[in-house]
Amino acid sequence: MKQKEKICPVEKAGMLDSFFRRIIQNPKKIIKPYIKEGMMVMDLGCGPGFFTVEMAKILQNSGKVVAVDIQEGMLKLLEAKIKGTDFQKIVTLHQAENDSLSFSGKVDFILAFYVVHEISRDNLFSELKRILNPNGKILIVEPNFHISKIVYLEMLDNLIKEGFEIISKPKIFLSRAVLVKS
C-alpha cells in the first residue's frame, strides 16, 4: 500500500482509541450489522485496534479477525491490548507492505475505516476484490473533513469499475460511508 497522504503516526494512536471517539463512533453499533459468528473478517488499517477488539467480541471465538496495518508500531499496540485475553486466539496481526496487503487468504467482510484516503487507490480495490469471498462485503468509511464529496464520488466510481455493487450508504457521524459487495 503506497502512502497517499500522511498516515496517522503511532504517537497519535491514543486519539484513535479514546473514550470520546467511542461516544461519537460506537464501534459495536457501526460494525455489528455486518459481522456474524463464524466469519473471517479483516480490519484494514486497524491502528491500535479500536474496531478489531469489537469484531473479536462479536465473533465470540467462532471466527477470525485479521488486523492489518502498515505500521509495526500500531500492530504492537494492538498486540499488547489483546495479550492474555481470549481475543489472542482469533485475532491475527498482519503487517502490510508499502505496495501490497501481502495477504493471500480469503475473508467474508472487510472494514476500511478512515484508511482508504491514506492508501494509493491504484491497486487497492482489485486487491480487496481478490481476497473477498463471493458475496463478501466491504464497509468503507472516510472522514468528510478529509475527503470531499467529489473524491468520495470518484471512489464510488472506481469501486463500480472494479466490479463491486453498492448496497447502501450507511450514516456514520462525520463520515462518508459505503457498503459494497463483490
Q: CATH no. for residue 21?
A: 3.40.50.150
Kindly write down the DSSP assignment for every residue of 7-27, as one continuous string: PPPGGGHHHHT-HHHHHHS-H
Number of domains making up the chain: 1
Residues 5-48: tens digit of each pLDDT: 467 666 555 566 766 666 788 999 999 999 999 999 999 999 89
Q: Does a structural domain hold residue 72?
A: yes
pLDDT the model gives residue 130: 96
Task: For residue 28, give its domain range.
Answer: 10-181
The answer, as to whether pTM is greater than 0.75, is yes
pLDDT at 118 over 70: yes
Residues 47-99: tens digit of each pLDDT: 899 999 999 999 988 999 999 999 999 999 999 999 999 999 999 999 998 88
Q: Does a structural domain hold residue 5?
A: no
The cell numbers describing 182, all together, are 463483490
b/e burial code for range 144-177 (CB count within 10 A of at least 16 → b):
eeebeeeebeebbebbeebebeeeeeeebeebbb
Q: Does a structural domain hold residue 1?
A: no
Q: Does a structural domain hold residue 164?
A: yes
Q: Does a structural domain hold residue 49?
A: yes
Q: Does a structural domain hold residue 154?
A: yes
Q: Does a structural domain hold residue 3?
A: no
Q: Does a structural domain hold residue 43?
A: yes
For 112, the enclosing helix (H) or strand (E) is: strand 107-113
